[in-house]
């Protein structure tokens, strides 16, 4: 165990940066800080990876109280890897946000910083109540981001997003009360191994249900594809990289600490994960918009990560860690690639798109790298990730996990083909008249026509309700019209996609780290001793 009194800074610095950045009304300071601070977070995460690479944990007991009494901040290898990852993803999304014009709103950068702080805090805390607080700290700015960067229809999506998340948070709080009432503590290290007591196991189960909503696991996933595509592309990429990952992280952390691995746990988690994989991939095929496909796909990918958790043991958890890290990178790259297309073409509906490959090479390359990696073809990082999951399934003798993982890969390929053929290949269709903006025929301009407007829009455009309309904001329109394919739109996604290729070509370092992280997760002794002392 290493002492790391500076760990709370990873939470405090982004919050302070957010507070400072609102002082500059023009938003310039905020835009600089929202790139610089997450970059620093990535570096600090890298340092933590180095410090924990041999399976140690770095612990900060806030204010020097003894272990078990103090508010604990802990970084093990799993948390350190994710911290590095989210630092990179925030930088990429922020650069894209500036290029696409979303960050012209001076509130965006401070909100991104608070979101970063909440997510970093959630990865580091070793206390269930602080986990709740950190999740709330991360969610509050996400409500603002969704409402402010989306278009008119995003207000409705925000309402759904808010309602679901508030319900889940209330359930989480009630679950915490049940855990405290039954176990007498909310310290994760003190809760380790308490899953053997039926009352504690049930109480923690309530917490897990709430976390499953945040992670968008089937059957509590429907909010995600209905809301994420309505934010602006940069914000969708940010949310996909950060918010649902907190849910997945917390599920893995709580399950590995509290419950003993056994056939019942494996059966439950693998069943939930397998259903998520199948439902997610089928749902993605039916979505009419680019980001809708990718958002629904997240449900399926979360399933893959949870399969690793369900198979338990160091091998399964190592596979889950590797999968989570590489998939978050690839997914953000894909969201940024289709986001760039959406900013340029001003539509996200697949059938109105086509021929992007002929127009812009590098966005196409980004998409291609990301899509091949997500499908799991060699030599991309997704190949090693899926191989790891399949290997863990073989070792655990779980035919269900193995078959589902293989079959769902095929579905992944299909939905990537749908995006590829619909958006990047083919020819650009003739611009369709904008149904919503089309003036009503003069003869039809009666008093009744206005009342029937929603009906007429629906008839003219069946995708109307699901069409993201974030670019209706004037600043975004200007940004989209003025420039061609600026580097800020293309480079962030391309860099992330190339990272996936590099990890695919040289998987050894990350595989080794994931292996160690899996061992630390499967045997909580180091974690517990680090937090409680002694």
Partner 1 sequence: MTLALAVAALTAVGIWLVLRGGAVRLIVGFVLLGHAANLMLIAAGGTDRREAALTGQVEPALAADPLPQAFVLTAIVITFGLTVYLLWLAPRAEEAAGPGDWPPEGSP
Residues that bind partner 1 (CB under 8 A): 129, 133, 136, 140, 143-144, 147, 152-153, 155-156, 158-159, 162-163, 166-167, 170, 173-174, 176-178, 180-181, 451, 453-454
Of 384, 298, 372, nearest in space to 335 by CA? 298
Choice between 32 and 147, CB closer to partner 1: 147
Torsion of CA 256, 257, 259, 263, to 10 degrees: 30
Helix (H, G, I), strand (E, B) or coil at 394: helix
Distance between CA atoms of 309 and 258, rounded to whole angstroms?
13
Choice between 136 and 359, CB closer to partner 1: 136
Choice between 134 and 385, CB closer to partner 1: 134
Q: Are 309 and 251 in contact (CB under 8 A)?
A: yes
Q: How far is the CB of 357 from partner 1 (least distance, A)?
A: 36
State the DSSP H helix or E strand holding residue 211, giving kind and residue range, or none if neither.
helix 198-215
Q: Are 498 and 296 in contact (CB under 8 A)?
A: no
Q: How far is the CB of 166 from partner 1 (least distance, A)?
A: 5
Choice between 166 and 432, CB closer to partner 1: 166
Bridge-partner residues for 72, per DSSP?
61
Choice between 175 and 422, CB closer to partner 1: 175
DSSP-based helix, strand, coil % in the chain, nearest 5 = 80, 5, 20
Q: How far is the CB of 450 from partner 1 (least distance, A)?
A: 9
Q: How far is the CB of 443 from partner 1 (least distance, A)?
A: 23
Distance between CA atoms of 180 and 190, rounded to whole angstroms?
11
Of 121, 103, 127, nearest in space to 12 by CA? 121
Q: How far is the CB of 202 from partner 1 (least distance, A)?
A: 14
Q: How far is the CB of 282 from partner 1 (least distance, A)?
A: 28
Task: State the CB neighbour count (10 A cutoff) for residue 202.
Answer: 14
Q: How far is the CB of 165 from partner 1 (least distance, A)?
A: 10
Distance between CA atoms of 183 and 180, rounded to whole angstroms?
5
Choice between 152 and 428, CB closer to partner 1: 152
Q: Are 139 and 458 in contact (CB under 8 A)?
A: no
Choice between 16 and 147, CB closer to partner 1: 147
Choice between 146 and 257, CB closer to partner 1: 146
State the DSSP H helix or E strand holding residue 72, giving kind and residue range, or none if neither.
strand 72-75
Of 21, 14, 4, 163, nearest in space to 91 by CA? 14
Bridge-partner residues for 349, per DSSP?
289
Q: How far is the CB of 281 from partner 1 (least distance, A)?
A: 30
Choice between 133 and 460, CB closer to partner 1: 133
Q: Are 200 and 194 in contact (CB under 8 A)?
A: yes
Distance between CA atoms of 55 and 52, rounded to whole angstroms?
5
Bridge-partner residues for 60, per DSSP?
73
Q: 153-157 long-range CB contacts below 8 Å, 24 or more apart? A: 153/230, 153/465, 153/467, 153/468, 153/469, 154/230, 154/231, 154/468, 154/469, 154/470, 156/230, 157/226, 157/227, 157/230, 157/231
Choice between 254 and 337, CB closer to partner 1: 254
Q: How far is the CB of 167 from partner 1 (least distance, A)?
A: 7
State the DSSP H helix or E strand holding residue 206, giving kind and residue range, or none if neither.
helix 198-215
Choice between 174 and 498, CB closer to partner 1: 174
Q: How far is the CB of 457 from partner 1 (least distance, A)?
A: 10
Q: How far is the CB of 41 from partner 1 (least distance, A)?
A: 24
Choice between 161 and 527, CB closer to partner 1: 161
Integer CA distances (angstroms), 104 to 27, 190, 235, 340, 436, in order: 7, 46, 13, 17, 26
Q: How far is the CB of 285 from partner 1 (least distance, A)?
A: 27
């Amino acid at each position: 165990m290493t002492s790391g009194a500076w760990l709370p800074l990873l939470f405090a610095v982004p919050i302070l940066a957010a507070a400072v950045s609102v002082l500059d009304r023009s938003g310039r300071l905020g835009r600089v800080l929202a790139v610089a601070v997450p970059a620093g977070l990535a570096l600090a995460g890298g340092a933590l990876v180095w410090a924990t690479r041999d399976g140690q944990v770095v612990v900060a007991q806030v204010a020097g109280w003894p272990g078990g009494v103090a508010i604990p901040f802990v970084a093990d290898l799993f948390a350190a890897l994710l911290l590095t990852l989210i630092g990179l993803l925030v930088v990429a999304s922020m650069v894209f946000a500036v290029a696409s014009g979303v960050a012209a709103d001076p509130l965006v950068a401070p909100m991104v910083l608070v979101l970063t702080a909440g997510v970093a805090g959630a990865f580091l805390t070793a206390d269930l109540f602080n986990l709740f607080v950190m999740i709330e700290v991360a969610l509050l700015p996400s409500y603002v981001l969704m409402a402010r960067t989306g278009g008119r229809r995003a207000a409705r999506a925000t309402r759904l997003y808010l309602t679901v998340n508030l319900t889940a948070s209330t359930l989480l709080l009630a679950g915490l009360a049940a855990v405290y009432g039954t176990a007498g503590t909310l310290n994760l290290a003190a809760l380790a191994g308490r899953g053997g007591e039926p009352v504690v196991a049930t109480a923690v189960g309530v917490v897990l249900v709430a976390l499953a909503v945040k992670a968008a696991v089937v059957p509590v996933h429907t909010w995600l594809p209905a809301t994420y595509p309505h934010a602006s592309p940069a914000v969708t990429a940010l949310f996909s990289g950060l918010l649902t990952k907190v849910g997945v992280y917390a599920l893995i952390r709580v399950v590995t600490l509290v419950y003993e691995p056994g056939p019942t746990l494996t059966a439950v988690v693998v069943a939930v994960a397998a259903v998520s994989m199948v439902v997610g991939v089928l749902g993605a095929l039916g979505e009419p918009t680019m980001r809708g496909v990718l958002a629904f796909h997240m449900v399926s990918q979360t399933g893959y990560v949870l399969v690793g958790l369900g198979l338990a043991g160091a091998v399964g958890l190592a596979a889950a860690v590797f999968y989570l890290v590489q998939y978050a990178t690839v997914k953000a790259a894909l969201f940024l690639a289709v986001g760039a297309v959406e900013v340029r073409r001003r539509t996200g509906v697949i059938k109105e798109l086509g021929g992007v490959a002929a127009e812009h090479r590098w966005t196409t390359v980004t998409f291609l790298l990301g899509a091949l990696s997500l499908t799991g073809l060699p030599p991309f990082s997704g190949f090693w990730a899926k191989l790891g999951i399949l290997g863990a399934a073989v070792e655990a003798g779980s035919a269900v996990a193995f078959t589902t993982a293989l079959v769902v890969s095929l579905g992944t390929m299909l939905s990537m083909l749908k995006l590829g053929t619909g958006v990047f290949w083919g020819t650009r269709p003739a611009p369709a008249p904008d149904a919503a903006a089309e003036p009503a025929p003069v003869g039809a301009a009666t008093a009744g026509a206005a009342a029937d407007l929603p009906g007429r829009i629906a008839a003219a455009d069946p995708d109307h309700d699901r069409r993201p309309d974030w670019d209706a904001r004037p600043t975004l329109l200007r940004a989209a019209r003025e420039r061609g394919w600026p580097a800020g739109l293309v480079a962030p996604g391309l860099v992330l996609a190339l990272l996936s290729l590099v990890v695919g070509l040289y998987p050894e370092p990350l595989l080794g780290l994931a292996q160690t992280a899996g061992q630390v997760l499967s045997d909580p002794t180091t974690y517990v001793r680090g937090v409680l002392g002694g």
